[in-house]
C-alpha cells in the first residue's frame, strides 16, 4: 500500500522521513517495536510544515526526545514519530544577556543535556549543573520539568519556545508552561523547540558540584543497564523506591526485566527484556505497594504505543 503521508513528508525541505523504523535503539530502555513512520525535522520551518502535514491525517503522532522516559509497546507505534534535528539542536552562550554577570544559555529542543553541560563547563558558567546525568534532550527535559534533588528545570529556565500546529511560535515562561514536579501543562502536540537558561560565572565550588552530582549518581544508580531512570514519581512525603523495597520487590525479575538491586525505583533491562516484561513489573510494583501500604504509585515513565487489549489487572503477584 502506498503511504501518501510518508511521500508528502519526504517532499518537505530539511526533513528526513522513513517508514517502519525500529524504535528500541531510539530509547534508553532498548525495548519496543517499530514506528510506522519516523521523521526528523531539521529547521523550524520544516517542523511547522511537518506538523501541518501530520494534522491532515487521523493518526497518532509521538514527539520523541532521547527516549529516556518512554516505554514503547512491543508492537510499536501505529503512527508517526517526530524528532528534532540539526538547527533545532543548537547550543549557545550569550554573556551578560540577562544583566551584568547574568548570562543566557540557549539550546534547541533536540540538544542533549550532556552537550548543554559540556558548554557550561567549557565556558565556566553555573546554574544548570543539577541536571548532570539526566540523559534527556532539552525539549524532553522542559516537558517533564526534569530534575534531581539538587533542583529542577523550572529553577533555571527563563523561557522556552513552543511550536504548535498552525500557531506562530511563542516564547513562554515557566509559569505559562505550568511546570510542576515532573510535569508541565504543555498542550498535547506542542513542541519545545528551544529553551533559555539563566547562568552565572562559575566558582570552583559550582564546578565541583557537577562532579559531585555525577559521582552520587554513579554510586546510587544502576547506570550500566538500560532503563528509564525512576519509574514512579515519589508519592507526597514518601519515596517510591522505599515503598517498593519495603514491599519485598527489590531484585524481583519478570522475563528480562528486574527491579534494580541498587535502586528499587528503577526497573532495568537485564537480559533482552520485552516492553511487556517491563510493563508487567510496573503493574506488579503498583499492585503490591497498593495492597501492602494503600499507596498508589503513579508512573513517571510514559507508556506509549499499541498495547492491544493489555490489562494491568491480569498481572498477579
Ligand X SMILES: Cc1cc2nc3c(=O)[nH]c(=O)nc-3n(C[C@H](O)[C@H](O)[C@H](O)COP(=O)(O)OP(=O)(O)OC[C@H]3O[C@@H](n4cnc5c(N)ncnc54)[C@H](O)[C@@H]3O)c2cc1C
Per CB under 6 A, residues contacting ligand X are 28, 63-70, 84, 109, 134-137, 139-141, 143-144, 146-148, 182, 191-192, 223, 227-229, 302
What's the CA gap between 78 and 60, in Å, rounded?
Answer: 7
CA angle 277, 281, 284 (to 5 degrees): 140
Q: Is 68 a catalytic residue?
A: no
Q: Which of 230, 260, 276, 280 does the annotation list as catalytic?
A: 230
H-assigned helices in the chain: 4-10, 44-55, 113-122, 138-144, 153-156, 204-220, 240-246, 275-293
Three cell numbers written together for 243: 515503598
Q: Bridge-partner residues for 159, per DSSP? A: 196
Of the candidates 278, 279, 243, the residue with the CA atom closest to the CA atom of residue 264 = 243
| Nearest distance, CB of residue 95 and ligand X, angstroms | 26
| Nearest distance, CB of residue 293 and ligand X, angstroms | 24
- Closest CB to ligand X among 223 and 287? 223
Q: Which of 36, 37, 182, 196 does the annotation list as catalytic?
A: 182
| Nearest distance, CB of residue 99 and ligand X, angstroms | 28
Q: Is 182 a catalytic residue?
A: yes
- Closest CB to ligand X among 19 and 222? 222
Reduced to 3 states (helix: H, G, I; strand: E, B; else coil), residue 249 is coil
- Closest CB to ligand X among 77 and 252? 77
Q: Is 300 a catalytic residue?
A: yes
Sign of the torsion formed by the C-alpha atoms of 242, 250, 71 and 67: positive
| Nearest distance, CB of residue 151 and ligand X, angstroms | 10
- Closest CB to ligand X among 126 and 228? 228
Q: Which residue is nearest to ligand X (CB)?
A: 139
What's the CA gap between 64 and 164, in Å, rounded?
Answer: 15
What's the CA gap between 117 and 136, in Å, rounded?
Answer: 12
As annotated, the active-site residues are 182, 230, 300
Amino acid at each position: 500500500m502506498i503511504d501518501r503521508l510518508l511521500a508528502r513528508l519526504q517532499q518537505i525541505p530539511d526533513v528526513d522521513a522513513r517508514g517502519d523504523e525500529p524504535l528500541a535503539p531510539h530509547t534508553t530502555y532498548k525495548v519496543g517495536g517499530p514506528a510506522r513512520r519516523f521523521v526528523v525535522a531539521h529547521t523550524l520551518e520544516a517542523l511547522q510544515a511537518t506538523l501541518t502535514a501530520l494534522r491532515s491525517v487521523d493518526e497518532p503522532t509521538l514527539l520523541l526526545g532521547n527516549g529516556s522516559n518512554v516505554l514503547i509497546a512491543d508492537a510499536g507505534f501505529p503512527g508517526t514519530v517526530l524528532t528534532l534535528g540539526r538547527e533545532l539542536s543548537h547550543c549557545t552562550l550569550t554573556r551578560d544577556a540577562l544583566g551584568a554577570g547574568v548570562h543566557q544559555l540557549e539550546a534547541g529542543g533536540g540538544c542533549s543535556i550532556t552537550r548543554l553541560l559540556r558548554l557550561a563547563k567549557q565556558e565556566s558558567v553555573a546554574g544548570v549543573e543539577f541536571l548532570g546525568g539526566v540523559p534527556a534532550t532539552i525539549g524532553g527535559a522542559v516537558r517533564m520539568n526534569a530534575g534531581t534533588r539538587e533542583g529542577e528545570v523550572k529553577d533555571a529556565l527563563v523561557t522556552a519556545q513552543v511550536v504548535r500546529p498552525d500557531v506562530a511560535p511563542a516564547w513562554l515562561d515557566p509559569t505559562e508552561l505550568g511546570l510542576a514536579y515532573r510535569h508541565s501543562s504543555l498542550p498535547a502536540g506542542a513542541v519545545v523547540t528551544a529553551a533559555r537558561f539563566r547562568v552565572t560565572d562559575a566558582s570552583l565550588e559550582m564546578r565541583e558540584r557537577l562532579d559531585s552530582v555525577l559521582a552520587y549518581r554513579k554510586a546510587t544508580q544502576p547506570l550500566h543497564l538500560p532503563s528509564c531512570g525512576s519509574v514512579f514519581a515519589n508519592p507526597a512525603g514518601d519515596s517510591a523506591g522505599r515503598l517498593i523495597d519495603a514491599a519485598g520487590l527489590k531484585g524481583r525479575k519478570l522475563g528480562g526485566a528486574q527491579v534494580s538491586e541498587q535502586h528499587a525505583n528503577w526497573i532495568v533491562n537485564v537480559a533482552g527484556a520485552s516492553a511487556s516484561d517491563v510493563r508487567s513489573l510496573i503493574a506488579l510494583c503498583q499492585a503490591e505497594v497498593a495492597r501492602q501500604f494503600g499507596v498508589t504509585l503513579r508512573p513517571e515513565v510514559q507508556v506509549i504505543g499499541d498495547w492491544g487489549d493489555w490489562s494491568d489487572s491480569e498481572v498477579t503477584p
